[in-house]
Structure 1
Amino acid sequence: MSDPFTMLKNIKETGKKVVGFYCVYAPQEVVLAADALGFALCATKEEPIADGEKTLPRNFCPLIKSSYGFAVTDKCPYFVHSDIIIGETTCDGKKKMFELMKTFKPVHVMKLPQSYLDESDKAYWLNEVKILKELLEVELGTTITDEKLREAIKILNEERLLMQQLAEYMKNDPVPMTGQDFLKLMWGRNFVTDRADFAEQIKAIISDMEDSVAKGEAAMPKGAKRILVTGVPTGVGAEKVIKIIEDCGAAVVYIENCSGMKQFVTLVDETKPPLEAIAEKYLATPCSCMSPNPIRQQHLVQLVKDYRADGVVDITWQGCHTYNVESRVVKEFLKQNGDIPFLQVETDYSQGDVEQIKTRIQAFLEMMA
């Protein structure tokens, strides 16, 4: 979008409401059923971190510092024009950030349970989704009916199926798309104003991928080492590790992160009561904030097989304690289930460690030779 500030201003002048969010736990179906536009908020650029550090500790996760820096400087158009922000308790740093944000912006924080395995946790989260529904109805002056929820579920399930279909093409050798371009497509979904148009665009790209595979066209050389990327949210502007992997000659065949395919792999069950089905889908997100988190580990092993990955690179932001601890758990699980090569890269948004990361990734790829 060449001028999102003007685009959003024009949308708001029509009376349309805007809801901002930071995490895939925010139930998009509820926002869509409220006749509002939902947008992911800016959080993946280094430039606003200095402004964030004027209030937040320097040893905070860069994603939080970037998020807050964008918010306090009004440099994120989606934050500026949001009528309400949906937060979530995925980490202590975010909880405190939302506490500060509430002093200058309407913020509703959804309280996550500690696990997705227990029935009591599922009931707790369903109640949180009900609270969000009722709050949006009041704050946005709308009524969210079951009919609207079912229509929203259908629309977003179609998007998920299209993204799953697109990901299937990354199983080819050679791959028809770079991991960086694949990330841009998934990232673009966060800023959609017309969902039907977005679906048509993805269908067109799927058609292009099919043609590329048929013609033998490729983004990376045949036989390139195949890497599965996992870990923290890695959006456009903070994709340096993915770029380094591909600059080293490897193909990023799957991005499991929640900013990547994690948000698309599970559908909302269209046969169940809508709010119950929505709550079930979102709670099943295998984030490291959940303890224990077996789905992520099991899913990674299956993805390695499905995408014939030669190794896994786990990206961890400095200060992200849950992903940092879980990285060791994932490494051991992959070793026990196929002796899958694994590399953790702990970094931030700066470019100061690019050469160091490049050296480590080159050594990792040579080890698999």
Structure 2
Amino acid sequence: MSEIQLPSQFESFAEARKQGFIAVKNLKEQGKKVAGVFCTYAPVELVLAAGAVPVGLCAFSDETIPEAEKVLPRNLCPLVKSSYGFAITDKCPYMFFSDLMIGETTCDGKKKMYELLGEFKNLHVMQLPQTQQDEASQELWYQEVLRLKDRIEQDFGVTITEEGIKNAIKVKNEERKLLKEFYELSKSCPPPITGAEQLKVLYGSQFKFDPEAKNREIRETIDKVKADQAKGVENVSPAAKRILITGCPLAGVTEKVVRAIEESGGVVVAYENCIGVKPVERLVDETIDPYKALADRYLQIGCSVMTPNPNRLDLLSRLVREFKVDGVVEMTLQACHTYNLETTQIRKHMQKEDMPFISVETDYSTSDAAQLKTRLAAFIEMLS
């Protein structure tokens, strides 16, 4: 198997995460407004249309959890504790430099944490419906999109024009199309990139703040990988078992799950979760009222907070088929009740698909890395 020379863009996307402090500081010095968002339900097109910069805020490290636990209960989701900890310690440049933070009522832990966060940060909370099915919920979310628009205009002293919002939708749709084309490269057998490399781009793309430059760089990455494919260069063993990861947001410390899989004879070909396919698959309709289009698109995200949640099941079935998956790994965080409770339904759904399935629960420590690797290695061995 020839050794592939990965394009420099892979490291560029990883480096973007590390250099975030400098990048955001430079933007602030240029007079740019920054809006931090906690979740993929936040319509970032509104931020872009206001001439501001959106950036993700959820934290994926246990570094500040001890500080958070001075206020928050210990038996709380690590993502919630980590996010709050980075806010109170000012160790996150994105939180420190955010002129406005945009939260959403996706879970009870976040909702109550936002009450505390709002005491010392400029915070806007979107009231998310708990279902996607009925007209009342759709109308509520449409009004929440308009309410966020008003808040952004008020806080940033701007007017979001019709031209501005339509252009932001177009640019963001282009990014989604490119990211979709990128991760669909892994439909090939064998995939041209590892799951770790795919994750670098999917996660790292949110830390590149010039939308048009980011889109160009994603395009260059796709073209380079395709060129290597055409030369017959293989980066992944054809014998590697093809794994789909679903469940909670996966980045930072939880990348230990990806390492355990790929060090045990597997390769992650698709990520269904929030830092993966889920926020990219659907485009915003560019032919109808832009605010209605934004509301329609974002409400359909298949998160476990929705009840019922058919969109997650439908997406999983399609990904299993299209990516020729050998097994599904669900990663849930401790005390993430919605995903932990939905595990039973996902397991039953995978049984109907005749698809091997395992669910692992973890947190932001590294103490369980060896145990995770043992379990996932046994799972992959079972697929052989």
The interval holding the TM-score normalised by the smaller chain is: over 0.9
Task: Give the Cα separation in 1 of the matches to 2:305 and 2:214.
Answer: 31
Question: What is residue 333 of structure 1 aligned with on the other side?
Answer: 349
What is the SS of the residue equivalent to 1:238? helix
User: How far apart are 1:6 and its partner, in Å?
Assistant: 3.7
Give the match for residue 90 of structure 1. 106
2:86 corresponds in structure 1 to 70
Runs of at least 4 residues of structure 1 off by over 6 A? none
Tell me how far 1:7 sits from its aligned partner. Answer: 3.2
Q: Decide which of 12, 26, 32 is 2:48's aligned counterpart.
A: 32
Deviations 1:264-323 (CA, angstroms, capped at 9, x unpaired): 000000011000001111000000000000111121111111000001000000000000
Q: Distance in 1 between matches of 2:108 and 2:234?
A: 43
Match of 1:215 in 2: 231
Q: Identity over aligned residues, as a percent?
A: 49
Which segments of 5 or more consecutive residues in structure 1 lack a partner in the other structure? none
Task: Name which of 193, 197, 201 aligns with 1:177.
Answer: 193
Structure 1 equivalent of residue 359 of structure 2? 344
The partner residue of 1:143 within 132, 139, 159 is: 159
2-structure distance, mates of 1:29, 1:128: 14
Superposed CA deviations along residues 66-89 of structure 1, whole A, max 9, x for unmatched, are 111111100000100100100000
1:42 and 1:70 in contact (8 A); partners too: no
Flag structure 2 segments of 5+ consecutive residues without an equivalent. 1-15
| Deviation for aligned residue 1:3 | 4.5
8 Å Cα contact 1:184/1:236 also seen in 2: no
Amino acid of the structure 2 residue aligned with 1:330: I
Question: How far is 1:184 from its partner?
Answer: 1.3
CA distance in structure 2 between the partners assigned to 1:42 and 1:218 by the alignment: 35
Tell me the residue number matched to 1:265: 281
Q: CA RMSD in A?
A: 1.1
What is the TM-score when the length of structure 2 is the normalising length?
0.94
Q: Which whole-Å CA distance do the structure 1 matches of 2:146 and 2:84 have between them?
A: 27
Letter in 2 for 1:366: E
1:207-356 to 2 correspondences below 5 Å:
207-336=223-352, 338-356=353-371
Q: 2:265–2:380: 8 Å Cα contact kept in structure 1?
A: no
**Residue type at the aligned position of 1:356:** Q
The whole-number CA distance in structure 2 between the counterparts of 1:116 and 1:274 is: 19
Give CA-to-partner distance per residue, 1:182-205, whole Å, 9 cap, x none. Answer: 111011222122111111110111
Contact kept in structure 1, 2:132 and 2:300, CA below 8 Å: yes
The residue that corresponds to 1:358 in the other structure is 373
Alignment-derived partner of residue 129 in structure 1: 145
d(CA) in 1 for partners of 2:65, 2:259 = 21
Shift of 1:250: 0.3
Aligned residue pairs total 368
